[in-house]
Amino acid sequence: MAGRAGRIGWPGALAAALVLAVIVGPIVAVAMRAEGLGTLGPAGRGALRFTIWQAAVSALVSVALAIPVARALARRRFPGRGLLLTLLGAPFILPVIVATFGLLAVFGRAGLVNTGLAALGLPSLSIYGPGGVILAHVFLNLPLAVRMILLGWQAIPAERFRLAALLNAPVWRLLEAPMLARVVPGALVLVFLICLTSFAVALVLGGGPRATTVELAIYQAVRFDYALDRAATLALVQVALSAGVAALAVLVHLPDAMGAGMDRVVPRWGAGTRALDALWIAAAGLFLILPMAMIVIEGVAGFSDIPPGTWVAAARSLAVALASTAICMGLALALAVSGGRWAIVVGTLPVAASALVLGTGLYILLFPWLRPQVLALPVTVAMNALFALPFALRIVAPAVERSEAQFGRLADLTGLSGRARLRLLTLPRAAGALGFAAGLAAALSMGDLGVIALFAGQETETLPLNMYRLLGSYRSDAAAGAALLLLGLSLALFAVFDRAGRRC
Amino acid sequence: MKTIPTIAGLILVASGAAAQEPVLTVYTYDSFVPDWGPGPAIEAAFEETCGCDLQFVAAGDGAALLARLRLEGERTEADIVLGLDTNLIAAATETGLFAPHGITAETDLPVAWDDPLFLPYDWGWFAFVAEADTPAPASFAELADSDLRIVIQDPRSSTPGLGLLMWVRAAHGDAAPQVWDGLADNILTVTPGWSEAYALFLDGEADAVLSYTTSPAYHRIAEGDDGKVAWTFDEGHYLQVEVAGKVAGTDQPELADAFLRFMLTDGFQAVIPTTNWMYPAVMPESGLPEGFETGPRPAPSLLLSPEEAAAIRAEAIDAWLAALDG
């Protein structure tokens, strides 16, 4: 590993220890309360098989589609490209249940596609089944995969493309394929792990118990059977799986050998046809934005039904999101700069950690000391920071690594270290990635239900919880309005951070 | 920003209240506490007479409520737990965390009630809710023979979902697995909870959704929409009875008893129909609101005892999984 990115310093070690403690501690607490671990049972094993299968297929399809879309976006400049990039991210940062209903408004039984097919006298398509689960997971995760791969493309110095063009050298084999070999494993891992904890989407679109995931088995174990031993075992399996997969990705990780450029992005020539790129961008845009548009349309209709409590909850969620973002970015930077080679594995663990088991474990650990209502918001801030960390880290770490690979030796020679190195080298070089990561963390934290439902008392309701409560008492119009508010605030937070980063 | 004076005011109020008024903590489910739920009116009515501060703590749904109580064990701050249903009573009793209520209640439930630990505060019949212009089947068999697509809740994560399992079982006994085999191709999908299922139905994804006979009343009274109906099945409908119990370790036993007695009076019961959209356990003097009940009541009313329900749950879930997994 090149440069300082592989070194371990105390901030990184501390951050890694903290993350590990907060992930493993609660599972241990749950297991101790249950006085041991349980067995998975045939139902648990069946759920595990389905979970791994759907996560693997979802990851492969999402990333395979993301490559041509990212390539098209990387080499075309058009008006509204920045806005499109922001909007494309929307499905990923929404609460999954909202995104699912948006998807159903397009592909469902009463959705746009089937209405259109019926008008043409064609047989209808059913989204419910394994195909629907994959479709939804691609919808939810394609934006992330596109952005991760796009960052890889943008990291190839324009000088290289010029040089390749000048020498008439094969751009794909010399520049793009090596870049993809570095970036794709990370994207695959992340999407796979996100889908590993899928629950409501898989069940609703899977069409029934055939689509039982590990997370549903955990839900049943904690809520109905009170079989904490089984819940702890299932949670450990999730964490072990994510640790294994993330570790595998580290082992196949290739160092960045691209060298430094002047960071200018130039329109490219000679590569592929303009029409094909336009087609990819239009198809991805339509697929991702149409369901969002349906959410907006339904939300506008329900906006006037929003009760006053929703606005209070929205303000609370904004504060939670900003606090979570600060913590998340601190952890991500510490891990990226001085966490060592395996920091990324530790930092990836939260993505596949069961919120229910984590919350339950924290409850067991904290309840003897503090009132749950007092803890609701602080714990939510901490958990949301943790759940956003894998994404922030996967975006920040490559940028830090690249900056070290390119300028680390120069910095070493000039004796640049500590805070000055962070301020003068790392932060400016990684500004784009930091802004994107912070935007993502803020938006994710805004929409994450996290563990609030477990701790919530009076005066602690967040916007996602408020939305679920509206949905739970017949008020689906007001819930659609709240979802629109959530979508708007999340996107605004994301855009503010992302643009600030890109401008730096 | 008026945050600081507000906080200061809250602290003043809180400390003033703490000096004089005992606090009664009631754990309940999410939909009980919002402005539009039964919570606020009930709190106001009880606080008028109790000389206390009634605090609701919302903890998810009924199953989450019980899970939270089990996590907290004897150290729980809860004085009352309100929102369990008959499917959860056996497990709740087993925890040993509840004390006998000692109240002989004259309820208007369609079944006799004599549980020593839990008192009912409302009830309803499970039913499939559909648009009025959808052809209505009159039994599970007719539903199975139709092309209608329904959405139901997963019995492994939802109390209504479990209620449907008990319904089929109570109505058809050992033939329940065959009923599920027949229904399998009518089930569009299964959701984790009631909210997602009902939203799918309202979006037009399914012809009908498992809910309650009282659901159309919400649309009629709150939205002025007459277009939703509940299907009446010949084999009868399963009851959901929602109950509350006194926590044995409460530090406010008198207040808790007073609340349980209040629960069966008009101050509580008259609020239930148009906030919780269920039947009141004791009919208030004012009767049911206009438009709450328009059709004949389903008969017979089916309900398994808590012990029976607990005993057959695992087996019923397995049969359900086997039928739908194919």
Residue A45 at interface with chain B, using a CB cutoff of 8 Å: no
Looking at the structure, tell me whether residues B174 and B139 fall in a common domain: yes
Count of structural domains, chain B: 2
Looking at residue A266, its pLDDT comes to 53
Q: For residue B14, which amino acid is it?
A: A
Looking at residue A504, its pLDDT comes to 64
Looking at the structure, tell me whether residues B185 and B39 fall in a common domain: no
Q: Tell me how long chain B is.
A: 326
Of B240, B242, B243, give the one whose Cα is nearest residue B98.
B243
Note whether B156 contacts A220, CB cutoff 8 Å.
yes
**Fold annotation for A3-503:** MetI-like fold (1.10.3720)
Q: Given a cut of 70, is residue B11 above it in pLDDT?
A: no
Looking at residue A263, its pLDDT comes to 53
Looking at residue A268, its pLDDT comes to 57
Looking at residue A269, its pLDDT comes to 53
CA dihedral B313, B316, B320, B325 (to 10 degrees): 90
Note whether A367 contacts B199, CB cutoff 8 Å.
no
Residue A219 at interface with chain B, using a CB cutoff of 8 Å: yes
Of A351, A474, A373, A226, give the one whose Cα is nearest residue B199.
A474
With contacts defined as CB-CB under 8 Å, which chain A residues touch B202? 476
pLDDT digits (tens, 9 = 90+) for A293-335: 999 998 998 899 899 889 999 999 999 999 999 999 999 999 9
Note whether A104 contacts B203, CB cutoff 8 Å.
yes
Looking at residue A258, its pLDDT comes to 53
Please tell me the distance from the alpha carbon of residue A377 to that of residue A459, in angstroms, as a whole number: 10
Note whether B189 contacts A471, CB cutoff 8 Å.
no
Looking at the structure, tell me whether residues B139 and B211 fall in a common domain: yes
Query: Average pLDDT of chain A?
Result: 84
pLDDT digits (tens, 9 = 90+) for A415-425: 777 777 877 77
Joined tokens for residue B101: 């209520």
Report the pLDDT averaged over residues B86-109: 92
Query: Average pLDDT of chain B?
Result: 90
Looking at residue B8, its pLDDT comes to 46
Looking at residue A373, its pLDDT comes to 75
Confidence of residue A5 (pLDDT cuts 50, 70, 90): very low
Looking at the structure, tell me whether residues B161 and B230 fall in a common domain: yes
Q: Given a cut of 70, is residue A254 above it in pLDDT?
A: no
Looking at residue A106, its pLDDT comes to 93
Residue A341 φ/ψ, nearest 5 degrees: -65, -35
Task: Give the contacts of B165 (CB within 8 A, at least 6 positions apart).
Answer: B155, B313, B316, B317, B320
Task: Give the contacts of A479 (CB within 8 A, at least 6 positions apart).
Answer: A302, A467, A468, A470, A471, B199
Task: Map residue A252 onto helix, strand or coil.
Answer: coil
Question: A239-274: string of b/e by CB count within 10 Å (b at 16+)?
Answer: bebbbebbeebbeebeebebeebeeeeeebeeebee
Confidence of residue B45 (pLDDT cuts 50, 70, 90): very high
How many contacts (CB atoms, under 8 Å) link A and B? 142
Of B32, B298, B283, give the one whose Cα is nearest residue B167.
B298
Note whether A363 contacts B64, CB cutoff 8 Å.
no
Looking at residue B61, its pLDDT comes to 83
| Closest Cα in chain B to A360 | B71
Residue B187 lies in a domain: yes
Interface test with A, best of B3, B61, B65, B154 (most A CBs within 10 A): B154
Q: Which structural domain, as residue segments, surrounds residue B150?
A: 125-239+297-325
With contacts defined as CB-CB under 8 Å, which chain B residues touch A106? none
With contacts defined as CB-CB under 8 Å, which chain A residues touch B35? 307-309
Of A493, A408, A44, give the one whose Cα is nearest residue B156.
A44
Q: How far is CA B111 from CA A221, B84, B85, B136, B239, in A?
A: 31, 17, 14, 27, 9
Note whether B156 contacts A476, CB cutoff 8 Å.
no
Of B153, A212, A194, give the one whose Cα is nearest residue A221.
A212
Looking at the structure, tell me whether residues B85 and B214 fall in a common domain: no
B63: closest CA of chain A, how far (Å)? 6
More confident residue, A223 or B209: B209
Task: Give the contacts of A403 (CB within 8 A, at least 6 positions apart).
Answer: A425, A426, A429, A430
Looking at residue B5, its pLDDT comes to 47
Say which of B77, B189, B277 has its CB closest to residue A204: B189
pLDDT digits (tens, 9 = 90+) for A343-372: 888 888 888 888 888 888 888 888 888 877
Looking at the structure, tell me whether residues B312 and B173 fall in a common domain: yes
pLDDT digits (tens, 9 = 90+) for A257-280: 555 555 555 555 555 578 888 899
Joined tokens for residue A379: 């714990």
pLDDT digits (tens, 9 = 90+) for A69-128: 998 988 888 888 888 888 887 888 888 888 888 999 999 988 999 999 999 998 888 889
Confidence of residue A492 (pLDDT cuts 50, 70, 90): very high
Please tell me the distance from the alpha carbon of residue A119 to that of residue A326, in angstroms, as a whole number: 51
Q: Given a cut of 80, is residue A256 above it in pLDDT?
A: no
Domain residue extents for chain A = 3-503
From chain A residues 97-116, the ones with a CB under 8 A of any chain B CB are: 97, 101, 104-105, 108-110
Q: Roughly how many angstroms between the first and final C-alpha of chain A, as a whole number? A: 27
A484: closest CA of chain B, how far (Å)? 16
Joined tokens for residue B222: 């709150």
Report the pLDDT averaged over residues A136-165: 85
ipTM for the predicted complex? 0.85
Task: Map residue B275 onto helix, strand or coil.
Answer: helix
Q: Given a cut of 50, is residue B213 above it in pLDDT?
A: yes
Report the pLDDT averaged over residues B93-114: 92
Residue B223 lies in a domain: yes
Task: State pTM to two decimals.
Answer: 0.88
Looking at the structure, tell me whether residues B31 and B100 fall in a common domain: yes
CB atoms inside a 10 Å sphere around CB A477: 19
Q: What percent of chain B has pLDDT over 90?
A: 74
Looking at the structure, tell me whether residues B193 and B318 fall in a common domain: yes
Say which of B35, B149, B199 has its CB closest to residue A309: B35
| CATH number of the domain within which B219 lies | 3.40.190.10
Looking at the structure, tell me whether residues B251 and B270 fall in a common domain: yes
B302: closest CA of chain A, how far (Å)? 22
Looking at the structure, tell me whether residues B249 and B231 fall in a common domain: no
Report the pLDDT averaged over residues B44-61: 91
Looking at the structure, tell me whether residues B148 and B248 fall in a common domain: no
Q: Roughly how many angstroms between the first and final C-alpha of chain B, as a whole number? A: 60
Looking at residue B3, its pLDDT comes to 46
Note whether A203 contacts B154, CB cutoff 8 Å.
yes
Looking at residue B9, its pLDDT comes to 46
Joined tokens for residue B190: 């299964």
Report the pLDDT averaged over residues B200-224: 94
Report the pLDDT averaged over residues A436-457: 82
pLDDT digits (tens, 9 = 90+) for A33-72: 887 787 777 778 888 899 999 999 999 999 999 999 998 9
| Closest Cα in chain A to B88 | A224
Note whether B199 contacts A128, CB cutoff 8 Å.
no
Residue A371 at interface with chain B, using a CB cutoff of 8 Å: yes
Looking at the structure, tell me whether residues B134 and B213 fall in a common domain: yes
Say which of B77, B199, B324 has its CB closest to residue A208: B324
